[in-house]
């Protein structure tokens, strides 16, 4: 025996082992992240503010579009320095967002402590050198640390008395000024009043719909409903198996995780592209200028992406208990899937599918606008053809259809729950 008392831990430094080294690095990275997060937020916030302010200034004063007005490196230097000043001498927006504040060991930070922190952050924080030690060098030398904000028993300071509050207000103000300026041009607002008569024709026609087109419009409605039904059905066939690949709790390990990431990423991209844009792409693909087929393909792709997300989120929330129990009976993997997972997800899956069907009915009218067939196509043709009374009839039909399906899907889903 070595003579160490029982339970004595070997004196070897922790970082000489792989795990110890990993932990030491992780601790420093964690510490660096604690400083970096508010700093990056401040830099991003200040930069965004500058860009928005410039944009507004350029829009109103110069009558042009401009984002920077200064070279990009000047802006970068300015916001970095601004962020450091703000964080050292006040309570910055970024610090407030992450819920931390500069705290001194001896009560309130003094001006000289803040000044030291300001200088030291340049040397050690920005360069990253300081984070080699725990706690970081600038923290040790300045006596200030970025600590979790302490709950105060004093009445909260009103937002207009804090720099972060004022910054947020100014930010929102500039944003709204820019947004309103860009979107509400004077001519268009004038047209809103001068051309009201033109739209009055439309509204008047809406209350005197043309019922003679009822039969043809009805047939297009049937096409629309079938588009939604088939797109949903075909989407389910693809989305159900994919959802298992997109569930974080089922896809573990070196093979599972990349598959999970890939499927989730692809679905996320597909979902970000509106069905209308998909319809345009598919219209070019299947060549027919006007075809419900292109519409259904567009709905199909978008539905798959949406359903996979909904399904996978449900899968991630399943109860692990039955899985454990069925595994314990000696059942194989497929049996566990069939008896522990599937019963838990059948009803939610059907419910999501009905919900998506409901959405697809709306979307089917919309993809019709680009030539995806169905009732939407008829509507846009009427509107652009100045056949407002017919358009009014179609709109009434759409409202009724959407209502009916909405009601039906809600009722069925309530029954499933």
Binding flag, residue 261, other proteins (CB under 8 A): no
Binding flag, residue 62, other proteins (CB under 8 A): no
Minimum CB distance to other proteins, residue 298 (Å): 12
Binding flag, residue 223, other proteins (CB under 8 A): yes
Binding flag, residue 110, other proteins (CB under 8 A): no
Q: Which of residues 157-176 bind other proteins (CB under 8 A)?
A: 175-176
Element (H, E) at 102: strand 100-104
Sorted by sequence, the CB contacts under 8 Å of residue 168 that are 6+ apart come out as 93, 159
Provide the Cα torsion 210, 214, 218, 219; round to 10°. -110
Task: Using the rule CB under 8 A, give the single segment among 100-108, 146-154, 215-223, 253-261 that binds other proteins.
Answer: 215-223
Say which DSSP state 61 is in.
Answer: I
CA distance 101 to 109: 10
Binding flag, residue 327, other proteins (CB under 8 A): yes
Q: Is the peptide bond before 135 cis (omega within 30 degrees of 0)?
A: yes
Contact indicator for 50, 56 with CB cutoff of 8 Å: no
Q: Which of residues 330-359 bind other proteins (CB under 8 A)?
A: 330-332, 334-335, 338-340, 342-344, 346-347
Q: Count H helices and E strands in the chain, helices first.
A: 17, 2
Binding flag, residue 317, other proteins (CB under 8 A): no
Q: Which of residues 287-316 bind other proteins (CB under 8 A)?
A: 287-288, 291-293, 295-297
CA distance 309 to 256: 17
Q: Which is nearer to other proteins, 48 or 103 (CB)?
A: 48
Inter-CA distances, 46 with 39, 43, 52, 78, 168, Å: 11, 5, 10, 9, 10
> In Å, how far from its chain's centre is CA 389?
40
Minimum CB distance to other proteins, residue 299 (Å): 10
403: which 2 tokens? 């209502």
Q: Which of residues 40-59 bind other proteins (CB under 8 A)?
A: 55
Binding flag, residue 263, other proteins (CB under 8 A): no
> If we measure between CA atoms, which residue out of 179, 177, 144, 149 comes closest to residue 164?
149
Binding mask 224-243 for other proteins (x = CB under 8 A): --xx-xx--x----------
Q: Which is nearer to other proteins, 79 or 394 (CB)?
A: 394
Q: Which of residues 191-210 bind other proteins (CB under 8 A)?
A: 191-192, 195-196, 198-199, 202
Q: Which of residues 368-387 bind other proteins (CB under 8 A)?
A: 369-370, 373, 376, 379-380, 383-384
Q: Which of residues 392-411 bind other proteins (CB under 8 A)?
A: 395, 398-399, 402-403, 406
């Amino acid at each position: 025996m070595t003579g160490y008392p029982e339970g004595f831990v070997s004196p070897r430094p922790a970082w000489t082992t792989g795990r110890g080294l990993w932990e030491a690095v992780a601790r420093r990275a964690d510490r660096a992240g604690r400083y970096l997060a508010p700093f990056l937020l401040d830099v991003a916030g200040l930069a965004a503010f500058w860009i928005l302010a410039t944009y507004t200034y350029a829009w109103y004063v110069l009558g042009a579009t401009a984002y920077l007005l200064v070279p990009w490196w000047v802006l970068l230097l300015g916001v970095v320095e601004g962020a450091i000043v703000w964080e050292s001498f006040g309570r910055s927006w970024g610090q407030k967002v992450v819920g931390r504040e500069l705290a001194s060991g001896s009560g309130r930070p003094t001006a000289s402590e803040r000044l030291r922190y300001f200088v030291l952050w340049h040397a050690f924080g920005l360069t990253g050198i300081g984070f080699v030690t725990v706690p970081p060098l600038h923290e040790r030398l300045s006596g200030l640390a970025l600590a979790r904000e302490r709950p105060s028993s004093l009445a909260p300071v009103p937002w207009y008395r804090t720099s972060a509050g004022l910054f947020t207000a100014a930010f929102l103000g500039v944003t709204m000024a820019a947004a309103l300026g860009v979107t509400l041009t004077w001519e268009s607002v004038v047209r809103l009043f001068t051309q009201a008569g033109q739209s009055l024709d439309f509204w008047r026609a809406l209350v005197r719909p043309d019922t003679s087109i009822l039969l043809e419009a009805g047939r297009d409605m049937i096409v629309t409903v079938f588009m939604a039904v088939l797109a949903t059905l075909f989407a389910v066939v693809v989305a159900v198996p994919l959802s298992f690949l997109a569930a974080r709790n089922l896809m573990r390990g070196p093979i599972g995780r990349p598959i999970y990431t890939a499927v989730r990423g692809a679905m996320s991209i597909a979902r970000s592209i509106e069905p209308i844009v998909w319809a345009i792409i598919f219209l070019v693909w299947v060549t027919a200028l006007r075809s419900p087929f292109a519409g259904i393909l567009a709905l199909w792709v978008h539905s798959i992406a949406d359903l996979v997300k909904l399904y996978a989120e449900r899968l991630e929330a399943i109860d692990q208990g039955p899985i454990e129990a069925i595994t314990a009976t000696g059942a194989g993997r497929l049996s566990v899937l069939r008896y522990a997972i599937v019963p838990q997800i059948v009803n939610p899956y059907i419910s999501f599918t009905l919900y998506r069907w409901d959405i697809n009915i709306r979307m089917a009218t919309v993809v019709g606008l680009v030539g995806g067939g169905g009732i939407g196509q008829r509507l846009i043709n009427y509107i652009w053809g100045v056949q407002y009374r017919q358009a009014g009839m179609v709109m009434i039909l759409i409202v009724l259809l959407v209502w009916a399906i909405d009601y039906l899907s809600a009722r069925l889903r309530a029954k499933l729950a």
